[in-house]
Chain A
Amino acid sequence: MRATCWMGKQHVSVERVPDPEIVNARDAIVKVTSTTICGSDLHLYNGYVPAMMKGDILGHEFMGEVVDVGQGVKNLKPGDRVVVPFAIACGNCEQCELGNFSCCENSNPNSWLSEKMMGHATCGAFGYSHLTGGFAGGQAEYVRVPFADFGPLKVPSTLTDEQVLFLTDILPTGYMGAEFCEITPRKVIAVWGCGPVGQMAIASARMLGAERIIAIDRFPYRLQMARDQAGATDVINYEQQNVQEALRDLTAGRGPDACIDCVGLEAHGHGLQYAHDSVKQKLHVQMDRPLAVREAIMACRGAGIISILGVYVGLVDKFPLGTVMNRGLTIKTGQCHVHRYMKPLLDRIERGELDPTFLVTHHMNLNDAPKGYDMLMRKQDDVMKIVLRA
């Protein structure tokens, strides 16, 4: 089959690789009908995530048709149309019972590696380095899906691929970030980063009843989408405005009640701090550039909530912990517990309360994945979400 492989820093190519087969009894093989490139794939593309290997198949947002199941899978059969959560969860361990699916204790065969780096293991995930298990990803024609009796969600044929594809990651992720904010109408929510996850967080905050949502980015087309389609009430372009001053002004001195970081480890900015972080990251003395989260912490209202959705992998410097402590901020974060949100969000899509299709700006053939990565990295042609089809 054809698959998008990571070949090195800023180098992906579509290669011929063996077709996947059933290995574990609870596996299924899914023929991919639609897949997409995630903003977090760019962190792999740009070489910021450790434990990548030449030939790793990328992609963690995919859906398709079941073509084969192992003897342990009773609830799926060939022909079923499913969306597959990016996080792999067993459904049996205590964390899964508690609903913390991205902390599953059994789905990461390389748990020893992530234990060394992170203290305790993370769950397994598709196409996201050997730290999350070394599972082949979904930017391919076929994918082997472990614990298929638990993860994949069957979707009705009345909905199009574009309507449900984002249930695999960005929609639940954005929704979880909004849910973290304990939204009531009086709460002002600020969202850093208007990429796809940011758009979904804004749309979810809107759906959960926030009256004022402030979107922050540097690309006018992204800010425009945030305001016109996702539902932001105000936008700040950080290349033209001072974010702290603008937020203070928009909230009459209070600061936003909750801040969502949808940026992560490759944050941009300007001035000395950005230069300093960039140099440190280049020299590998710091793995992440935490500019957005720093800014969010400083801006947040006392006793407010910092919701972190952007991906961070390691150690950061100059983290304003003193502000967090003295002003009683709460930090909520995590890889999305996708399994928890898929079904309720599917129901909302079916009822027409939510339509994530506005994110799709491009369609491409799987063969053009390398072009897609490059385009997404350079933010060319007002790109937001690229849907790949085999």
Chain B
Amino acid sequence: MDSLHAYRSTLPDKPPNRAGLARGLGAFSLAVGATQLVRPRAIARLAGIPHGPVTTTVIRALGAREVTNGVGIFARPRHPFPLWARVIGDAVDLALLGLAVRSARRTRYGRVAGAALAVAGVMALDVIAARRAARSKVTQPILYSVTINKPPQEVYAFFRKLERLPAFMDHLESVTEHGETSHWVAKLPIIGTVSWDAKIIADHPGEEIEWESVPGSKIKQRGRVTFARAPGRNATEVRLEWVLGLRGTPANEELAKALAKPQAKGDLRRLKQVIETGEVLYSDASEHDKPYPAQPARHGEHKHPRMFVSNPPTARKGGAS
């Protein structure tokens, strides 16, 4: 995992991947795809395959796939996914060419061999572009921020008592501090109950807290919360940066991020609520995890906030007029 500090700067620390090759391949996809859709017979002739109704349909389908890939590449030229889709497409093309050679009688072998060579060549370029995209893709941290109407020292002090975090971080069951490290237990959707150990690696009162999971943890993560005074008033801008990865593939990481981002947003919003109003407010509908009409729950089915910090309102009633 890269240093978090790199993400803080507004300029990327690596020169951006210009994705010229990827864009070229995208354009190629669009051109080939369009031709396959409009002139399937010409393509068959070029590849040396005898054309009939079945061949025409297959070539048109391949054309649709090519256009989809091309559009995908132009939509996200730095993303490896549409490029890998091209690689798979190339493999399918090669297999179909092989099939055509075996099943047809009037095949022109010279042309088929030429076509196969061309596909293999493009396939090599696709692999290069896909790997390049995969390499240049840094794991973006989850970033979210909120403004809390209390001074930074106070917000920091609240957050620093880690054992209090489950009061507003819904998925956390408990946090126990043991000196430098802490033990976290969370209940996650789909995955179930998990636990990990984390260590605070930077701690500047009133400014920031940075943590990292200890080596060997099942949930690998690194995160940072910064506390800064909001312009012109004694409020705090709280910013969270959080890199999260279940050990394994990048896809796994994407999934973890997709699940965790809404959670992190909700957690920060609830942090604001707890510090400003003393507790997490539930409505008749939001008391329930599943959709529920805005009417009171039955006795005994209420969800009560995990904490209430007595915190008298700071504002006065009846301002203007």
Does the CB pair A23–B287 fall under 8 Å?
yes
C-alpha spacing A150/B312, complex, angstroms:
10
B267-321 residues with Cβ-Cβ distance < 8 A to A are 269, 272-273, 276-287, 291-299, 302-305, 308, 310-315, 317-321
Instruction: Tell whether A3 is near chain B: CB-to-CB under 8 Å.
Output: yes
Instruction: For B320, list chain A residues within 8 Å (CB).
Output: 99, 340
Does the CB pair B285–A53 fall under 8 Å?
yes
Instruction: Tell whether A239 is near chain B: CB-to-CB under 8 Å.
Output: no
Instruction: Tell whether A91 is near chain B: CB-to-CB under 8 Å.
Output: yes
Q: How far is the CB of A374 from chain B (nearest CB, A)?
A: 22
Instruction: Tell whether B147 is near chain A: CB-to-CB under 8 Å.
Output: yes
Q: How far is the CB of B183 from chain A (nearest CB, A)?
A: 29
Instruction: For A111, list chain B residues within 8 Å (CB).
Output: 269
Does the CB pair A105–B272 fall under 8 Å?
yes
C-alpha spacing A344/B320, complex, angstroms:
9
Instruction: Tell whether A372 is near chain B: CB-to-CB under 8 Å.
Output: no
Instruction: Tell whether A144 is near chain B: CB-to-CB under 8 Å.
Output: yes
Instruction: Tell whether B266 is near chain A: CB-to-CB under 8 Å.
Output: yes
Checking B147, B272, B277, B317 against A343 with a beta-carbon cut-off of 8 angstroms, the contacting residue is: B317
Checking B233, B266, B296, B317 against A17 with a beta-carbon cut-off of 8 angstroms, the contacting residue is: B296
Q: How far is the CB of A245 from chain B (nearest CB, A)?
A: 36
Does the CB pair A56–B294 fall under 8 Å?
yes
Does the CB pair B318–A57 fall under 8 Å?
no
Does the CB pair A24–B319 fall under 8 Å?
no
Does the CB pair A94–B283 fall under 8 Å?
no
Does the CB pair A94–B235 fall under 8 Å?
yes
Instruction: Tell whether B215 is near chain A: CB-to-CB under 8 Å.
Output: no
Checking A97, A106, A109, A144 against B286 with a beta-carbon cut-off of 8 angstroms, the contacting residue is: A109
C-alpha spacing A285/B74, complex, angstroms:
29
Instruction: For A90, list chain B residues within 8 Å (CB).
Output: 273, 276-277, 281, 313
C-alpha spacing A83/B314, complex, angstroms:
22
Tell whether A340 pairs with B284 under 8 Å between CB atoms, given A26-B279, A90-B277: no
Does the CB pair B283–A134 fall under 8 Å?
yes
Instruction: For A342, list chain B residues within 8 Å (CB).
Output: 317-318
Instruction: Tell whether A301 is near chain B: CB-to-CB under 8 Å.
Output: no
Q: Is the interface of A mostly helix, strand, loop or mixed?
A: loop
Instruction: For A67, list chain B residues within 8 Å (CB).
Output: none
Checking B266, B283, B294 against A112 with a beta-carbon cut-off of 8 angstroms, the contacting residue is: B266
Does the CB pair A24–B294 fall under 8 Å?
no
Instruction: Tell whether A92 is near chain B: CB-to-CB under 8 Å.
Output: yes
C-alpha spacing A275/B283, complex, angstroms:
39
A284-321 residues with Cβ-Cβ distance < 8 A to B are none
Checking A19, A25, A98, A112 against B279 with a beta-carbon cut-off of 8 angstroms, the contacting residue is: A25
Instruction: Tell whether B262 is near chain A: CB-to-CB under 8 Å.
Output: yes
Instruction: Tell whether A71 is near chain B: CB-to-CB under 8 Å.
Output: yes
Checking A19, A92, A93 against B311 with a beta-carbon cut-off of 8 angstroms, the contacting residue is: A92
Tell whether A21 pairs with B299 under 8 Å between CB atoms, given A53-B285, A94-B233, A340-B320: yes
C-alpha spacing A24/B304, complex, angstroms:
7
Instruction: Tell whether B265 is near chain A: CB-to-CB under 8 Å.
Output: yes
Instruction: Tell whether B149 is near chain A: CB-to-CB under 8 Å.
Output: yes
Instruction: For A61, list chain B residues within 8 Å (CB).
Output: none
Instruction: For B312, list chain A residues within 8 Å (CB).
Output: 74, 149
Instruction: Name which residue of chain A comes closest to B302, CB basis.
Output: A23
Does the CB pair B302–A94 fall under 8 Å?
no
Tell whether A92 pairs with B317 under 8 Å between CB atoms, given A21-B299, A110-B286, A133-B283: no
Does the CB pair A24–B149 fall under 8 Å?
no
Does the CB pair B283–A110 fall under 8 Å?
yes
Q: How far is the CB of A203 from chain B (nearest CB, A)?
A: 15
Does the CB pair B294–A127 fall under 8 Å?
yes
Instruction: Tell whether A96 is near chain B: CB-to-CB under 8 Å.
Output: yes
Instruction: Name which residue of chain A comes closest to B314, CB basis.
Output: A92
C-alpha spacing A125/B312, complex, angstroms:
22
C-alpha spacing A144/B312, complex, angstroms:
20
Instruction: For A339, list chain B residues within 8 Å (CB).
Output: 317-318
Instruction: Tell whether A198 is near chain B: CB-to-CB under 8 Å.
Output: no
Checking B273, B296, B321 against A136 with a beta-carbon cut-off of 8 angstroms, the contacting residue is: B296
Checking A25, A26, A135, A179 against B294 with a beta-carbon cut-off of 8 angstroms, the contacting residue is: A135
A1-58 residues with Cβ-Cβ distance < 8 A to B are 3, 5, 17-21, 23-26, 53-57
Does the CB pair A106–B281 fall under 8 Å?
yes
Give A contacts to B, CB under 8 Å: 3, 5, 17-21, 23-26, 53-57, 71-72, 74, 90-94, 96-99, 105-107, 109-112, 124, 127, 130, 133-137, 144, 146-147, 149-150, 175, 179, 339-344
